[in-house]
Amino acid sequence: MSTYSKELEVAQLAVQRASILTKKVFHEKAKGTVSKDDASPVTIGDFGAQALIIQAIKKNFPGDQIVGEEEASTLRNDIKLRDQIWAFVRETTLTDANAEKIVGGPIETVDAMLDAIDAGNSAGGSKGRIWALDPIDGTKGFLRGGQYAVCLALMVDGDVKVGVLGCPNLPIDDAAPLTAESGVDQTDAEGKGVLFSAVSGQGATSRPLGTAGLGKSKSIQMKPVEDITQATFCESVEAGHSSHGDQHAIVTKLGVTKPSVRMDSQAKYGSIARGAGDIYLRLPVSATYQEKIWDHAAGDLIVREAGGQVTDTLGRRLDFSKGRTLQENKGVVAAPKAVHGQVLEVVKEVLAKK
């Protein structure tokens, strides 16, 4: 077996199973919802997906730590919310019996579900095996049927070794180019749903996101950018996550005329890794904001393994060894290796004027 092959298989199946839950929550609870109020679909999906993924990790790698976004104290006090989540968790299984067995089978009790959620309490760091988990990355995208991702990465001594992204609303077709519409209401219709994966040193792949075992995978590569003025840039939908004004100044300076594609979540990393887009910028909106490791770990590895370069806005590699945040980094510049330096220079120029 190749290095990390078991970790990869467990991560892929765990993300696939959690994605079934998030889609079910969307269809039953989210249609027409736009707020992040209590017991919103985001809350149910976040907790439910975290429980299912952590259970799969703990079943296979009991000694590993997990950095998760949620903890279960609110559920221990809010029985109604807890029972709503449990109703989804206990019904979510992979339809392939062997695949379901690999991820540990169904969670057996409510208490086991709460314990699984609470196991995502690692502080992170530079020692040992630590998983970074974002059960629903892109909550606003999730709520409106746009882009979101179920994200999981394994770090060993602070270095990302395995990365998996489940993107239920991206097209399966790797060749489908991003357009301005890619980030807006894209429900998980026929032809949608992709699972991106990478293992350090072994390249990156995509495959259809299914409901049973794993489908056939295809190797993915970033697209060579012959002419930077024709490149497709991606950015966050939320101006609070990335500075749209700085992005506009950067693309204008590079001579790009196409509008940037705005989409939520690490679906942006997956999209540029397979050549559907070219460059992803996430530009700091405040001097003090620290990115969370679970928002970048899987995407960072997938892009690098697909032939890209990922740094912060000062040209430093993203450092996942400092705890729960990227405290040594500012922003993200992800691009094909051949043009990354050119993009980074313009990013530095524009941000230096602030």
> Does residue 46 have an active-site annotation?
yes
Contacts of 84 (CB under 8 A, 6+ apart): 39, 44
Residue 30 amino acid letter: A
DSSP one-letter code for 231: P
Q: Are residues 155 and 175 in the same domain?
A: yes
User: What are the pLDDT digits (tens) for 275-293?
Assistant: 999 999 999 999 899 999 9
Domain end marker among 219, 253, 272 = 219
Res. 186: pLDDT tops 90: no
Res. 95: pLDDT tops 90: yes
Is residue 295 marked as binding? yes
Is residue 134 marked as binding? yes
Is residue 28 marked as binding? no
User: What are the pLDDT digits (tens) for 71-85?
Assistant: 999 999 999 999 999
Q: Angle, to 10 degrees, between the axis of helix 5-25 and the axis of helix 41-60?
A: 160
Q: Are residues 207 and 234 in the same domain?
A: no
pTM confidence score: 0.96
Q: What is the pLDDT of residue 38?
A: 47
Catalytic residue among 22, 139, 311, 313: 139
Q: Are residues 187 and 239 in the same domain?
A: no
User: Which pLDDT band, with edges at 50, 70 and 90, does 139 fall under?
Assistant: very high
Residue 53 or residue 188, greater confidence: 53
Q: Are residues 56 and 131 in the same domain?
A: yes
Q: Are residues 137 and 270 in the same domain?
A: no
> Does residue 93 have an active-site annotation?
no
Q: Are residues 150 and 22 in the same domain?
A: yes
Tell me the residue range of the domain where 235 lies.
228-352
315, 344 Cβ separation under 8 angstroms: yes
Q: What is the pLDDT of residue 287?
A: 87
How much is the mean pLDDT over the chain? 93
Q: Are residues 266 and 193 in the same domain?
A: no
Report in angstroms the alpha-carbon separations of 52 from 20, 26, 140: 11, 17, 22
Q: Are residues 253 and 276 in the same domain?
A: yes
Say whether 279 sits in a helix, a strand or coil. Answer: strand
Q: Are residues 184 and 110 in the same domain?
A: yes
Is residue 69 marked as binding? yes
Q: Are residues 247 and 167 in the same domain?
A: no
Count of structural domains, the chain: 2
Look up the CATH number of the domain holding residue 319: 3.40.190.80
Neighbours of 282 (CB within 10 A): 23
Please name the residue that has the structure tokens 């770990």: 297
Look up the CATH number of the domain holding residue 32: 3.30.540.10
